[in-house]
Structure 1
Amino acid sequence: MTDIASHRGGARLWPENSRLAFRNSAAMAVDFIEFDIHRSRDGVLVVHHDPLLGRTSAGMGAIADKDWAELREVALLRTSDETIPSLDEVLDILEPSGIKLRIELKNRGDGSRYPGIEAEVVEALTQRRLLDRTTFTAFDLETLGELASSAPATPLIWLISEKVLAAPARDLGALCRKARMAGVPEIAVRISQAEDADAEICRREAIRYGLFAVHEEADIKQAFAAGVSAFTTDRPDLAVALRP
């Protein structure tokens, strides 16, 4: 069965990566709640999509350049009184629900990785006995390689960026083989780049196939019809309603 992942807690329904979104998504019949992790300058794991403040939150500057004492006071836009949450705060909300977690580890604004963040996230989840409910995703294959070493039994998904799939020539089979060599058993492609043959290519390469950015009704129906492993959506309500 195709799994539904509520992207950033359902970003077209509620403010993305907000406590409100996570509480509401956890009450829905979705399989996963997806969210993103950065790290503050003083080592706190922070739930926020962009490496920079300003699009979904007040302020400006890079999360990696600010201490948690400052970040915890930064207002989330489109909310009445919410601020940027830490990973621990989000886990406090999601842990009692029993819902599965789909966690994307992000890079800094310059594309560099946060040194050691993989082991820190694994440890945080292990301490709360949530690692067996978690799937990790990343656009950075090296990040997933580190996670494969830190948590070898935890599911991993390589998110294939538009640039990686498009250049120098579209070769999904080669990307599948690259994922397999890195110990990553699943890939996900942006639905706007998906082609009819992709599922079969992945099957031949023994790699599971999923989609992301599946927000419109026609796209959701396409994902279900293709029988993909899972997809992320900003409209979890619509996905649940359309599930076969």
Structure 2
Amino acid sequence: MTDIASHRGGAKIWPENSRLAFRNSAVLPVDFIEFDIHRSRDGVLLVHHDPLLGRTASGSGAVGEMDWAELQAVELIGTDDETVPNFDEILDILEPSGIRLRIELKTRQGGGRYPGIEAQVVARLRERRLLDRTTFTSFDLPTLAELLRLVPDRPTIWLVADKLLASPTRDLRKLCREARAAGVREIAIRIAQAQDGDGEACRGEAVTLGYYGAHDEPAIRKAFSDGVSAFTTDRPDIAIAVRREICG
């Protein structure tokens, strides 16, 4: 059965990447909880999606250019005085659940990588004895290649950016070959970009296919119908209900 990943803790139910979202997601019968990692200027790993403040957190500026002392006081929009959480705080919430972690390593504002962030994340997960529960994802293929150099046995998923599947040059098989060349054996594409035959194309290149962006019931039903490995969703509650219906 296709796995459900609660995206940013269930971002259309609770404020994304908030402690509230992760506490509530951790009691749901989902297979993964997905969240995003950036790093502060002084080296603290933090859970936040955008490279900039302003959309989900108050203030402005690039998170990678701010120290943790400043970031830890930044309020999350839509919460009861929650602030930006660090990596350990979220691991503290999720560890007792036993749910697998789906961690997306982000890049800096402008697209550059945080030097050494892969080793830092791996080391922290190993210290917390959570590495064996973790799947890594990224839109940046070199990030995944570095993770595989560090931990060859960990599952990795290349998130394929929309522009790489844009017509008229759409070539999913070519993208699968690029993933395999980097050692990555699973890709995920936005469900709105999925086409008939994509699963067969990926299987032909020995690559597993998943979806992201399945945020409403029709998309969720399509993900299950297509039999992909997993999908991320902002509405894990709908996904759970649909799976229960399918499974009887």
**TM-score, structure 2 normalization:** 0.97
Give 3-state SS (helix, strand or coil) of 1:225's partner.
helix
Q: What CA RMSD, in Å, does the superposition of the two structures yield over aligned residues?
A: 0.8
Give distance in 2, aligned partners of 1:167 and 1:179. 20
Per the alignment, residue 56 of structure 1 pairs with 56
Per the alignment, residue 179 of structure 1 pairs with 179
Give 3-state SS (helix, strand or coil) of 1:125's partner.
helix
* Structure 1 unmatched ranges of 5 or more: none
Percentage of identical aligned residues: 68
Paired letter, 2:36: D
Give distance in 1, aligned partners of 2:153 and 2:73. 36
**Cα deviations by residue, 1:184-235 (Å, 9 ceiling, x for unpaired):** 0100000110001100001111100000000111110000001000000000
Per the alignment, residue 209 of structure 1 pairs with 209
Count matched residues. Answer: 244
Give distance in 2, aligned partners of 1:24 and 1:136. 22
Per the alignment, residue 94 of structure 1 pairs with 94
Per the alignment, residue 190 of structure 2 pairs with 190
Following superposition, the deviation at residue 165 of structure 1 comes to: 1.6
Per the alignment, residue 146 of structure 1 pairs with 146
Could you say if the C-alpha distance between residues 116 and 191 of structure 1 is closer, same or farther in structure 2, counting changes exceeding 3 Å? same
Instruction: Name segments (4+ residues, structure 1) moved above 3 Å.
Output: none
Paired letter, 1:186: E
* Structure 2 unmatched ranges of 5 or more: none
Per the alignment, residue 232 of structure 2 pairs with 232
**Cα deviations by residue, 1:95-135 (Å, 9 ceiling, x for unpaired):** 01111000000001101010110010000000001000000
Give distance in 2, aligned partners of 1:200 and 1:237. 29
Paired letter, 1:189: I
Following superposition, the deviation at residue 168 of structure 1 comes to: 6.6
Give distance in 2, aligned partners of 1:216 and 1:195. 18
Following superposition, the deviation at residue 164 of structure 1 comes to: 1.3
Per the alignment, residue 66 of structure 1 pairs with 66
Give 3-state SS (helix, strand or coil) of 1:231's partner.
strand
Paired letter, 1:56: T
Give distance in 1, aligned partners of 2:198 and 2:24. 33
Give distance in 2, aligned partners of 1:25 and 1:89. 15
Following superposition, the deviation at residue 64 of structure 1 comes to: 0.6
Per the alignment, residue 119 of structure 1 pairs with 119
**TM-score, structure 1 normalization:** 0.99
Paired letter, 1:64: G
Give distance in 2, aligned partners of 1:217 and 1:167. 26
Paired letter, 2:190: R
Give distance in 2, aligned partners of 1:67 and 1:149. 29
